[in-house]
Amino acid sequence: MQHLYKKIYADPEFHELESKRGRFSWCLAAITIISYFSFILIIAFSPELFAKPISDSTVITWGIPVGLFIIILSFALTGIYVFRANSEFDRLSKDIVDHVKDSAGE
């Protein structure tokens, strides 16, 4: 296995895939972290923003839809990640591994 790891590590296509995948997952992680901590910091520093009703005709305050939005966003982001990782990234990764295995005669 070790020699295959070395060959894959030396393959520029592998690094290209990894930087694409890395950018994608860090970007999604950043969205999650930023939205959650913005939520927490608004509660800590200016809770009155979340206490305003969303319109004149309702009692529902901004905090509730924003909170629900973060729950739904978390779920949606995991869905987006799984969709792309299980199709595009897995396919590219398999291509690289197969290619290296072929050239190594295995």
Partner 1 sequence: MLRILPVNKHYVAGMFLLISTSVVYAAGAIEGEVQRQPLNLTAITMFLLFVGATLCITYWAARRTKSTKDFYAAGGSISGLQNGLAIAGDFMSAASFLGISGLVFASGFDGLIYSIGFLVGWPIILFLLAERLRNLGKYTFADAVSYRLKPLPIRSLSACGTLTVVLLYLIAQMVGAGKLIQVLFGLEYYLAVIVVGVLMILYVTFGGMLATTWVQIIKAVLLLFGASFIAVAVMNQVGFSFDNLFSSAINLHEKGLAILSPGGLVSDPVSAISLGLALMFGTAGLPHILMRFFTVPDAREARKSVFYATGFIGYFYILTFIIGFGAIVMLVNNTQFLDPESGGIIGGNNMAAIHLSQAVGGEIFLGFISAVAFATILAVVSGLTLSGASAISHDLYASVIRHGKVQQGEELKVSRVATILLGIAAIFLGIIFEQQNVAYMVGLAFAIAASVNFPILFLSMYWQKLTTKGAFIGGSIGLLTAVTCMLLGPTIWVDILGNANAIFPYKHPALFSITAAFFFIIVISKMDSSDSAKDEAIAFEDQYVRSQTGLGAEGASQH
50 binds partner 1 (CB under 8 A): yes
Q: If residue 101 lies in a helix (H) or strand (E), which one and from where to where?
A: helix 90-103
CB of 48 to partner 1, least distance (A): 8
Q: Which tokens hold the place of 32? A: 């999650």
- What single letter denotes the amino acid at residue 82? V
DSSP 11: -
Instruction: Find the shortest distance in angstroms from Cβ 74 to partner 1.
Output: 5
Determine contact, residues 81/32, Cβ cutoff 8 Å. Answer: no
State whether residue 102 is helix, strand or coil.
Answer: helix
Considering the rule CB under 8 A, would residue 61 count as an interface residue with partner 1? yes
Binding site for partner 1 (CB under 8 A): 1-2, 4-6, 8-9, 14, 18, 21, 25-26, 28-29, 32-33, 36-37, 39-41, 43-45, 47-48, 50-51, 58-61, 63-64, 67-68, 70-72, 74-75, 77-79, 81-82, 85-86, 90, 93, 96-97
